[in-house]
A and B are shown apart, each in its own frame.
Chain A
Amino acid sequence: MKVRAEKKTFKRTMIGTLTGMIIITLMLVGVSLYSIYVVNQNYQATIDRLLNLNTFYEQLEETNNSVYNYTLSGDENIYIDIQEQVTGTRSVLQNMTLTAGSRVYYRNIRDLEEMYLSYYECVQKIYEHSYLCDVITIGSRNTGNKYYESSQKVYDAIYSQFRTLYSTMLDDAALQSRNVQRQNLFFYREMIAMVIVTVIFEYFYQRALVRKVIQPIQNLTDSIRGFDGQNTDRSKVKIGSNTEREMSSLLHAYNSMILRIQNQMDEIRKNAHIREKLKDQEMENLRISNRLKSSELKALQMQINPHFLFNTLNMISQTAYLENADQTVELLGSTAKLLRYTLDYTGKEVTLAREIELLGSYVSIQEQRFGDRIRFEFDLDESHHQMHVPSMILQPLVENSLKYGVGMKTEGALIRICTRYRADKQQEIIIVSDNGTGMERKRLEEVRRSMTEKNGNERNIGLSNVCLRLSMFFNGDSRMSIHSRTGRGTTVVLRLPCPETEKGEQKNVSDNNS
């Protein structure tokens, strides 16, 4: 079946069908024409037989008249004529036997021939008797008449035979004529039938052509028009089991092409998406790099002045010491530590312990400044203070509390610094809280927004700087949150990732440097 299907092509089908039609038509026409020819031949043969028979009878009539005349006159010339006539008549009879006819016809002609011979024998007897009689007597005339009568009996028999034969032939001719008419009618009907059959065949042929060639091409065209690169299944063309080989190959090739196009478009989309993502990532990296450079620049700027101040402070400290100003010496010491820290560790990572130490120096200064007005409390869980953090992350928070939180309080201000470790979350929690004026909701929202903005406004640059540096340091795993209520103070919470392993291993560059 598979082999047959492979060989089945529209071209073969068309050629086979057309060839068959042509052969059948030619055969029909050929047979029809031949049958008409045969019938016409039969009719012609019948007419020929009739004509021959008629000729025979005419010649017989003529001969008989001559015999009568000869019997009366005995004229030799008449007898010569009779002989010629007989020869001619026998020739006609001979022709009649050669004409196509039925068995009965041949038999009738044979009988007629023999009768004619008998007739001629009688005529010959008349002649012989006449020839032998030198003298015509009554007796010889009677004998001659008797021979004549015999010839007439035979003549009558011939005539009777002729009439029967002629009647039969006329019937036959009538039959043949009807045959010819019937054949002609058959031929006309056959032509009409052929036209009808041809029309019907053409109809089915066109239908097959439409179904097997035009419709598939139409489907293909529609599919091409409707192809949008999205839905492959809708764009494919269905291939029926009876599709001719040529169309089948074309449609298969088209469907394969659709599939390849679809796959390639999917690939392109995927690549474009990836490239877009890469681009976004690059932009992000660029922005972070810029922010970092900006922070580094600021830190660098901050480093320039501290060097001068540090030297100046050293000088003042020495002077204060010489003047026995212990408090001044202590204050200057704290300030120097602060400055030293700033000089050494800005932009670097330090341990949390170091950062808190720095904060202690800062707080010492502030305590001198504000006296009893502001109290600083440290509640520390030092178990994980060896973790690494960026420098200068706590001082800005405390400074903010002083500036915006408790700065306006005349008494009872408290700034609390807590550290805790949450083992379940592996986080170091640092809380800087104050009991200052707090913030209104609107302001709080603004501050929170600025913490996440890369370009925060000037007022919030410390918080957003700390937040950004923490995010960069901890790769986005740190969390910084701020809570505040008007009149209730403000709390800033830092959640820094601190896996258990970091607790012990300490290759702290800042510690080594100190």
Chain B
Amino acid sequence: MRKYILVLAANILLILFISGQTLRSDTDTAVSGSPRFTYVCPDVWEECAGGMRRADDALGTDTRYIGFRTADVDRQASAIHSAVYSKVKGIITGGRNRSSGLTESIREAVSRGIPVVMAGMDLENTDRTCYIGPDNYEMGKQAGRDLTEAVRAGTKAAVIIPDTGNVNLKERAEGFRAAIADDPDIEIVEELECGFDQITIQELMLDLLGKHPEINALFCADLAVSEIAGEVLGNVERETHCTVVCCGLSDAVWNYISDRTCFSTVAADSAQIGYEAVAFLWDYLNGKRQNTDVIFTDTIDVRADFEYAAWNREQNDRQVEWSIQ
């Protein structure tokens, strides 16, 4: 009898398992009453959104994630307008590109009493409620310190920055310069503004390295540049002759650091940015916070011995459903 019961139980479990696999429910219940936030990301920032989702789960907020396949400031502004019309309780966005439309939309939101948080990238001359992100100046400074540590005498460095008008990137460059200012072994021979388009970045970098063969150090002020630097150096076969310090961390950048193409990178804790952004809005709505200009989040200095896999898992432990426009 026991044999039959065991066989029956095993079969029932198998059936339940199979049915469980096919009956995964994709329905939820409507969460009414929870404050609605909208995150309008210039592109798709998974780690930051993951942090926001963690905050949603913890605080009971409801954040919607809007992203763009290609960065488009006008569409970003339009999405912010839509968020305003839908009377959300808070908007989180990022200001990579200068745009009057974007600035206008942020102002409109703020004028209607909707707090706007700039996450990761700040914009000048907006009435945004708060900036939450890394201390860009310190990031640049850390990168400079890494370079002084890595190089010897006669270092010719180039600073590659996508947008000199972007306040965040400007601060990084300033920090970098400040860090190497007292080091006589390092000289900045060129500063290149390359934009955010990778093909453009690649072309300009190749030109730079062609014109300045003496350059043996690079500072990549943004992730967009950092991700292409290794490839460009590989194309000109100078990966071993050039010391590269970066800002931003991704799989591509980590590969460069692992194979010693890049010496180090300074990265922000993206998940923390997202979490802090939602938490700030939540506290703001509940009157626990007033206008706070800036909230700096943690940065990390990534070398070859960094435990990237564990850090990556932690950053991506939450998945969100993006509304890609």
The residues of B that contact A45 with a CB separation of less than 8 Å are 27
Tell me whether chain A's interface is mostly helix, strand or loop, or mixed: helix
CA distance A434 to B321 in the complex (A): 147
B13 to chain A, nearest CB (A): 11
Which of B27, B32, B85, B325 contacts A102 (CB under 8 A)? B27
Which of A97, A104, A157 contacts B82 (CB under 8 A)? A157
The residues of A that contact B15 with a CB separation of less than 8 Å are 24, 27-28, 31
Given contacts A31-B15, A31-B18, contact A106 B31 (CB under 8 A): yes
CA distance A157 to B108 in the complex (A): 15
**Contact between B323 and A108, CB atoms less than 8 A apart:** yes
Which of B27, B81, B321 contacts A157 (CB under 8 A)? B81
Kindly state whether residue B1 has any CB partner on chain A within 8 Å: yes
The B-contacting residues of A in range 101-160, CB under 8 angstroms, are: 101-104, 106-108, 110-112, 114-115, 117-119, 153-154, 157-158, 160
Kindly state whether residue B309 has any CB partner on chain A within 8 Å: no
The residues of B that contact A160 with a CB separation of less than 8 Å are 78, 82, 325
Which of B18, B27, B82, B87 contacts A117 (CB under 8 A)? B87
Kindly state whether residue A35 has any CB partner on chain B within 8 Å: yes
**Contact between A35 and B22, CB atoms less than 8 A apart:** yes
Kindly state whether residue B64 has any CB partner on chain A within 8 Å: yes
Stretch at the interface among A15-23, A83-91, A497-505: A15-23
The B-contacting residues of A in range 1-43, CB under 8 angstroms, are: 12, 16-17, 20, 23-24, 27-28, 31, 34-35, 38-39, 42
CA distance A114 to B72 in the complex (A): 25
The residues of A that contact B12 with a CB separation of less than 8 Å are 24, 27
**Contact between A114 and B87, CB atoms less than 8 A apart:** yes
**Contact between B7 and A20, CB atoms less than 8 A apart:** yes
The A-contacting residues of B in range 123-171, CB under 8 angstroms, are: none
CA distance A112 to B64 in the complex (A): 13
Per-residue CB contact flags for chain B residues 83-125 toward chain A (1 = under 8 Å, else 0) read 1011110000000000000000000000000000000000000
**Contact between A114 and B7, CB atoms less than 8 A apart:** no
Kindly state whether residue B11 has any CB partner on chain A within 8 Å: yes
The residues of A that contact B29 with a CB separation of less than 8 Å are 106
CA distance A93 to B29 in the complex (A): 16
18 contacts between A and B (CB under 8 A): A20-B7, A23-B8, A24-B12, A31-B18, A42-B26, A97-B30, A100-B27, A102-B28, A106-B31, A110-B30, A111-B64, A111-B86, A114-B86, A114-B87, A160-B325, A161-B82, A164-B325, A183-B22
Q: What 3 A-B pairs are tightest by C-beta distance, nearest first?
A: A111-B86, A157-B82, A106-B30
Q: Which residues of B contact A (CB under 8 A)?
A: 1, 4, 7-8, 11-12, 15-16, 18-19, 22-23, 25-32, 36, 38, 62, 64, 78, 81-83, 85-88, 321, 323, 325
